[in-house]
Amino acid sequence: MGSGEKTIFVFKKKKVYSDRNLKDKLRYEVCESVVTNWSELPSEQNSEKYMLIFLFILLGIVLMMLIYWAETYIL
């Protein structure tokens, strides 16, 4: 996957990102880099794992926000 530039692009707001095919391709690359045999899994398992991967990413973002908030306003 390289230096992570493609992965970072998934989360940036760009006009090109409105292209559905590009969005799906980049999300697939993220899933493929997290799950080793992603392309060999049946589509049912792919969709389940896809949701889990992005839920964990969302959870990570929320946790980072909570830590930032705690450091800024509590500590």
Residue 63: band (very low, low, confident or very high) from pLDDT cuts 50, 70, 90: very high
Handedness of CA 33, 36, 40, 44 (dihedral sign): negative
Per-residue pLDDT tens digits for 21-46? 887 788 788 888 878 787 888 888 77
pLDDT score, position 54:
84
Q: Please indicate, yes or no, whether the overall pTM of this predicted structure exceeds 0.75.
A: no
Share the mean pLDDT of the chain: 76
Residue 16: band (very low, low, confident or very high) from pLDDT cuts 50, 70, 90: low
The one-letter code for the residue type at 55 is L
